[in-house]
């Protein structure tokens, strides 16, 4: 068996661009440190609204295929070489925003059988053997059907991958040690939007988004982990810029097709939902540990080469 790098990270996202917005700095940092970083994207984002007028005619499969090339450029910017589509490109289609007729398309990811989709992810987990998984919370961060479904499939696959009796044909069982959900602490979001207000006039965007437009905003007390990606701010911005159909970047701000300005977070935040909090405070009694944020997703994990 080929020897794998000691630290292995898996990210599960709904559409091309979600990985750059949520985890661009984290991916760049761990790739630069030599960790194995694997991205699984569940759809090609065929229902996304296109920003640049010259390619605004792209829809459906043509848009999906264009967004694959954007994703490849984004991954190049953060130094990640292993990125895949769940079940293969085009297996699951973008379901569109909640309540749209596309939600009912039998090819949409929203209509996918969770266990069937999870089996495709089990194969990836058993092959790449990640100690750490990053995905969304049960609401998908903001209620988009594909984000909710990505959460369900990722959490289900993490369980099934560890089951020796589940589909032995997909590889040897593997237990993921730590699972994180993407988060933004409310205080950080509020401070960033306050700063945005002061410079909004100088930006090419029509208005400011609101704190609650940002996926995954929660009370600060829920944040267990912060990854300082300041050194990778440029890589993150470049990855976001690569998704030109979806994102307009004016560092350190960006806007989606709604033209509402938002901050780019170069410190990225997480809530540990499975596994033990690690780090310098490990071993200290839990009352003291509870308020201390991890600064490394792999904290507390002893490196094993598979």
Q: Is 46 in the site for Zn ion (CB under 5 A)?
A: no
Residue 41 or 224 with smaller CB distance to Zn ion? 41
Residues making up the binding site for Zn(2+): 15, 18, 147
Q: Is 119 in the site for Zn ion (CB under 5 A)?
A: no
Q: Is 14 in the site for Zn ion (CB under 5 A)?
A: yes
Find, among 191, 184, 190, 192, the residue nearest to 227 by Cα: 184
Binding range to Zn ion, per CB under 5 A, among 6-14, 47-55, 109-117, 264-272: 6-14
Residue 72 or 172 with smaller CB distance to Zn ion? 72
Q: How far is CA 68 from CA 6, 62, 223, in A?
A: 29, 10, 32
Residue with tokens 């969304």: 136
Binding range to Zn ion, per CB under 5 A, among 7-15, 57-65, 185-193, 213-221: 7-15
CA 50/CA 59 separation, integer angstroms: 8
Q: Is 188 in the site for Zn ion (CB under 5 A)?
A: no
Q: Is 21 in the site for Zn ion (CB under 5 A)?
A: no
Residue with tokens 């961060």: 141
CA 130/CA 136 separation, integer angstroms: 17
CA 28/CA 220 separation, integer angstroms: 25
Q: How far is CA 17 from CA 173, 179, 274, 281, in A?
A: 31, 21, 26, 35
Query: Least distance in Å: CB of 14 to Zn ion?
Result: 4
Binding range to Zn ion, per CB under 5 A, among 11-19, 29-37, 238-246, 266-274: 11-19
Residue 103 or 281 with smaller CB distance to Zn ion? 103
Question: Which residue number places its CB atom closest to Zn ion?
Answer: 15
Find, among 298, 256, 299, the residue nearest to 5 by Cα: 298
Cβ-based neighbour number of residue 206 at 10 Å: 11
Q: Is 261 in the site for Zn ion (CB under 5 A)?
A: no
Residue 114 or 282 with smaller CB distance to Zn ion? 114
Residue 47 or 225 with smaller CB distance to Zn ion? 47
Residue 22 or 224 with smaller CB distance to Zn ion? 22
Binding range to Zn ion, per CB under 5 A, among 17-25, 81-89, 199-207, 287-295: 17-25
CA 276/CA 60 separation, integer angstroms: 42
Q: Is 29 in the site for Zn ion (CB under 5 A)?
A: no
Find, among 100, 123, 120, the residue nearest to 110 by Cα: 100
One residue of 15, 152, 186, 293 binding Zn ion per CB under 5 A:
15
- Give the relative orientation of helices 18-32 and 233-242 as an angle to the nearest 10 degrees: 140
Strands 132-135 and 8-13: parallel
Q: Residues binding Zn ion: what is the number (CB under 5 A)? A: 3
Q: Is 8 in the site for Zn ion (CB under 5 A)?
A: no
With vertex at residue 142, the alpha carbon angle to CA 43 and CA 106, rounded to the nearest 5 degrees, is 35
Residue 14 or 77 with smaller CB distance to Zn ion? 14
Q: Is 18 in the site for Zn ion (CB under 5 A)?
A: yes
Binding range to Zn ion, per CB under 5 A, among 8-16, 46-54, 132-140, 152-160: 8-16
> How far is residue 96 CA from its own chain's centroid?
18
Residues making up the binding site: 15, 18, 147
- In the complex, which residues of this chain contact Zn ion (CB under 5 A)? 14-15, 18
């Amino acid at each position: 068996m080929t020897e794998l790098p000691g630290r292995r990270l898996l990210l599960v996202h709904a559409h091309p661009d979600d990985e750059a917005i949520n985890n661009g700095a984290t991916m760049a940092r761990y790739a630069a440190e030599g960790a194995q970083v694997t991205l699984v994207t569940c759809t090609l984002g065929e229902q996304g609204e296109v920003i640049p007028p010259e390619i605004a005619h792209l829809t459906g499969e043509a848009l999906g295929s264009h967004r694959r090339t954007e994703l490849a450029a984004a991954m190049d910017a953060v130094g990640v070489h292993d990125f895949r589509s769940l079940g293969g490109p085009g297996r699951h289609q973008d379901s569109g925003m909640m309540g749209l007729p596309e939600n009912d398309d039998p090819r949409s990811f929203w209509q996918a059988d969770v266990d069937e989709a999870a089996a495709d992810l089990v194969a990836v987990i058993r092959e790449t053997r990640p100690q750490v998984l990053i995905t969304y919370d049960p609401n998908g961060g903001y209620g988009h059907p594909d984000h909710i479904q990505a959460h369900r499939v990722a959490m289900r696959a993490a369980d099934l991958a560890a089951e020796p009796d589940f589909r032995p044909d997909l590889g040897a069982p593997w237990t993921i040690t730590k699972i994180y959900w993407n988060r933004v602490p409310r205080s950080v979001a509020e401070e960033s939007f306050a700063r945005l207000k002061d410079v909004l006039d100088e930006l090419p965007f029509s208005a400011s988004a609101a704190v609650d437009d940002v996926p995954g905003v929660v009370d600060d007390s829920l944040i267990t982990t912060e990854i300082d990606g300041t050194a990778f701010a440029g890589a993150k911005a470049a990855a976001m810029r690569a998704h030109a159909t979806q994102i307009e970047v004016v560092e350190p701000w960006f806007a989606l097709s709604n033209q509402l300005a938002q901050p780019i977070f170069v410190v990225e935040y997480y809530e540990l939902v499975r596994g033990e909090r690690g780090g310098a405070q490990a071993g200290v009694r839990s009352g003291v540990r509870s308020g201390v944020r991890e600064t490394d997703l792999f904290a507390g994990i002893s490196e094993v080469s598979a």
